[in-house]
């Protein structure tokens, strides 16, 4: 069995214009899938990702859809189904970081982060659940901060990512009768513009790892392809930790 064979599969990656989502969209295409991506503000970067998808010989297109806007997310799923001709794989990736002590963050900060990191993922999962065929896949990008918070300033972000554990387990139960799997990847620090490996918090994060380096978006993308592929049809409701030993 080719563990990464996705020829003919149809995928949607939310937040696919940059970072982990962009690497994931390209990796899915390299494995044979046609891929739609959403973005909220990085139109040029999204167009570049589409070009890279097309360079693999697969179809790609980008949809402007703010994850905080439920109707835009629902419309994006509908458009992906329309243009691709169906949907087999949802990668729920769009997310925002939040760093600040609880005494410094505002209620607007709370609402903004939950709107994207929790509500946006729930809405995308709900819309995809209505259209995925038997055997479809959902893969959500969480964070190692859901299990272990190693520094101050992460209460809001960790809370938002912890919520996804419950969502993922519930989705596995709701969709299991249709053979649809739902799993969550829990990355440690990954070198993206959200969390640069040379950023102000990088050394502190590295100090909590067994491997003394940040992960790459491509390493997360490879795990997504694995969970979307033929080898993992009996894995559901679980977490794949990809954290450089953050939990060790």
Among 84, 190, 223, 227, binds ligand NDP (CB under 6 A): 190
Does 183 engage in binding with ligand NDP (CB under 6 A)? no
Among 6, 11, 12, 19, binds ligand NDP (CB under 6 A): 19
* Residue 69: Cβ-neighbour burial (10 angstroms; 0-12, 13-18, 19+): middle
Among 12, 21, 27, 138, binds ligand NDP (CB under 6 A): 21
Does 193 engage in binding with ligand NDP (CB under 6 A)? yes
Does 27 engage in binding with ligand NDP (CB under 6 A)? no
Annotated catalytic residue: which of 157, 201, 226, 234?
Answer: 157
Strands (E), 166-248: 181-187, 239-242
Among 33-41, 123-131, 174-182, 229-237, the segment contacting ligand NDP (CB under 6 A): 33-41
Nearer to ligand NDP, 192 or 232 (CB): 192
For 103, half-sphere exposure in the C-beta direction (CA atoms, 13 angstrom radius) is: 1
Task: Report yes or no: 211 and 245 within 8 Å, Cβ to Cβ.
Answer: yes
Residue with tokens 């894995």: 235
Q: Round to whole Å and give the CA distance between 139 and 120.
A: 14
* Residue 235: Cβ-neighbour burial (10 angstroms; 0-12, 13-18, 19+): middle
201 is catalytic: no
Adjacency order of strands within the sheet including 60-64: 60-64, 34-39, 10-13, 89-92, 137-141, 181-187, 239-242
Q: Round to whole Å and give the CA distance between 67 and 86.
A: 21
How big is the site for ligand NDP, counted in residues (CB under 6 A)? 29
Mask 99-138, x = binds ligand NDP (CB under 6 A)?
Answer: -----------------x----------------------
Nearer to ligand NDP, 35 or 94 (CB): 94
Does 244 engage in binding with ligand NDP (CB under 6 A)? no
Nearer to ligand NDP, 178 or 218 (CB): 218
**Assign residue 45 a region: left if phi > 0, alpha if psi is -120 to 50, beta otherwise?**
alpha
Residue with tokens 């491509």: 218
Among 9, 10, 29, 39, binds ligand NDP (CB under 6 A): 39
CB of 7 to ligand NDP, least distance (A): 25
Binding stretches for ligand NDP (CB under 6 A): 15-21, 38-42, 66-68, 93-96, 116, 141, 143, 187, 189-190, 192-195
Active-site residue set = 157
């Amino acid at each position: 069995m080719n563990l990464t064979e996705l020829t003919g599969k149809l995928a949607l990656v939310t937040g696919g214009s940059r970072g982990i989502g962009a690497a994931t969209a390209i990796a899915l295409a390299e494995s044979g899938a046609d891929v739609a991506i959403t973005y909220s503000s990085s139109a040029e970067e999204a167009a570049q990702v589409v070009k890279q998808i097309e360079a693999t010989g697969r179809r790609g297109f980008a949809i402007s859809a703010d994850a905080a806007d439920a109707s835009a997310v629902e419309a994006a799923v509908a458009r992906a189904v329309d243009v691709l001709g169906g949907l087999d794989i949802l990668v729920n990736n769009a997310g925002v970081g939040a760093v600040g002590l609880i005494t410094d963050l505002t209620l607007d900060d709370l609402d903004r982060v939950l709107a994207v990191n929790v509500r946006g993922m729930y809405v995308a999962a709900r819309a995809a659940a209505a259209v995925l065929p038997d055997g479809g896949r959902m893969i959500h990008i969480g964070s190692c901060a859901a299990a272990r918070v190693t520094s101050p300033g992460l209460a809001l972000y960790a809370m938002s990512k912890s919520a996804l554990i419950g969502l993922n387990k519930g989705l596995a139960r709701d969709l299991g009768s249709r053979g649809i799997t739902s799993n969550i990847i829990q990355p440690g620090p990954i070198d993206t513009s959200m969390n640069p490996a040379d950023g102000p918090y990088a050394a502190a994060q590295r100090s909590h790892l067994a491997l003394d380096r940040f992960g790459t978006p491509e390493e997360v993308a490879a795990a997504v392809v694995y969970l979307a592929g033929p080898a993992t049809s009996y894995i559901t409701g679980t977490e794949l930790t990809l954290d450089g030993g953050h939990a060790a």
